[in-house]
Structure 1
Amino acid sequence: MLAERPASGYDLMKLFETSLSHVWSATQSQVYGELGKLADSGLVEVAAEGPRGRKEYAITEPGRAELRHWLTETEPSRTRRSDSLLRVFFLGLLTPLEAQTYLLTEAERSARQRAGLEEAEASIEWDDDPLSLHGRLALEYGKRLSSMHEEWARWAAEQLKA
């Protein structure tokens, strides 16, 4: 995000809330903590200071190089932890009706998530800039993943009827 333009911790939190929360969550203490670590490492710098101690951070050349390295040479972690899916392993401890209810609730949750993403998509003023393009790509991934999860949960609930 700082690779696009300088921003304060508050600006970054707002960006997380409006666009990144569907793919990566971060608390205020995490954002400010990471900004401090990045600054200490020389990957970002304080570009401006405003009233009430507001600091605007900008990426440095070493920071841009590290970001590029992370994007092109570091394999993404494929480790996924899903407490929803973990619970599926233990559905045999419930009655068939309780297990089906759990799965149908998961399907509805996924449908609501997809609807929220569609709402966000409609409310955003998309541009032709790279951030908009890549934001749309990530948003589409979220919509498709939510649809797949909903479809799977409904299918799984049907399997328990058999």
Structure 2
Amino acid sequence: MSLRHALLGLLTDRPSSGYDLMKLFDTTLANVWKATQSQVYGELTRMTDADLIDVSAEGPRGRKEYTLRPEGRAELERWLTTPAPPQPLRSDAMLRVFFLGLLPPEQAREHLARMEAAEAEQREQLERLRDGREWTGHPLALSGRLVLEYGLRDAEAKREWARWALDQIPRTPGAETAVPTTGA
């Protein structure tokens, strides 16, 4: 996914300023794609230069409102219908877990307990988002709800894994644990 395609998708609904897009981004896509203000404004400039969007209005203090061009809509549709290329797996969290055996067991357990708590908090935040919003009446309501459900299930699976992993670490220094052979 690219920031460009996220912004093109957000502009399908109505013309928006960079500020409006940042607010919309934060309330709809922040759980699946993070972007800074400078990234959004830089990409809007590149998209304007590429004739994917137009500046449809200018206001005070340099405020610009952007509108999706047919070329931008075509690019969004091309991206949506093209299979995503495989992404290399890079997980800072799992790299750390791989080396937990270098720590004393209690520190390793503390690390896994923090991971479990973080995933539980992530799930709670997503539940609040799910419960605080109406999921009908907008073309992206269903797909937004699908993405939210993915996040809920992902957070729960990671929390369950962290709980399982925590149980694999011995509670006392020097104690050995057999290497687990199954995922359950």
TM-score (norm 1): 0.94
Q: Which residue of structure 2 aligns with residue 64 of structure 1?
A: 73
| In structure 2, C-alpha distance between the alignment counterparts of 1:139 and 1:76, rounded to whole Å | 22
Q: Which residue of structure 1 aligns with residue 153 of structure 2?
A: 144
Q: Which residue of structure 2 aligns with residue 53 of structure 1?
A: 62
Counterpart secondary structure, 2:14:
coil
Structure ranking higher in helix proportion: 1
| One-letter amino acid of the counterpart of residue 106, structure 2 | L
Q: Which residue of structure 1 aligns with residue 34 of structure 2?
A: 25
1:84 and 2:93 equivalent? yes
Aligned sequence identity (%): 54
Q: Which residue of structure 1 aligns with residue 49 of structure 2?
A: 40
Alignment match of 2:20 (pick from 11, 25, 38): 11
Q: Which residue of structure 2 aligns with residue 75 of structure 1?
A: 84
Report the Cα offset of residue 128 of structure 1: 2.9
| In structure 2, C-alpha distance between the alignment counterparts of 1:6 and 1:109, rounded to whole Å | 37
Residues 120-148 of structure 1 show CA distances to partners (whole Å, capped at 9, x for unaligned) of 11112332322111111111111110000
Report the Cα offset of residue 80 of structure 1: 3.9
| In structure 2, C-alpha distance between the alignment counterparts of 1:133 and 1:90, rounded to whole Å | 40
Counterpart secondary structure, 2:101:
helix
Residues 68-119 of structure 1 show CA distances to partners (whole Å, capped at 9, x for unaligned) of 1111114244234321111011101101111111111101000000100111
Q: Which residue of structure 1 aligns with residue 115 of structure 2?
A: 106
| In structure 2, C-alpha distance between the alignment counterparts of 1:81 and 1:21, rounded to whole Å | 20
| In structure 2, C-alpha distance between the alignment counterparts of 1:19 and 1:76, rounded to whole Å | 24
RMSD, aligned CA: 1.3
Larger radius of gyration: 2
1:112-151 matched pairs, under 5 angstroms: 112-151=121-160
| In structure 2, C-alpha distance between the alignment counterparts of 1:82 and 1:143, rounded to whole Å | 19
Q: Which residue of structure 1 aligns with residue 103 of structure 2?
A: 94
TM-score (norm 2): 0.83
Unaligned ranges ≥5, structure 1: none
| In structure 1, C-alpha distance between the alignment counterparts of 2:100 and 2:11, rounded to whole Å | 44
Q: Which residue of structure 1 aligns with residue 7 of structure 2?
A: none
| In structure 2, C-alpha distance between the alignment counterparts of 1:101 and 1:66, rounded to whole Å | 47
Unaligned ranges ≥5, structure 2: 1-9, 171-176, 178-184
Higher relative contact order (CA closer than 8 Å, sequence separation 6+): 1
Structure 1 pair 3–113 and aligned structure 2 pair: CA distance change class (3 A): same
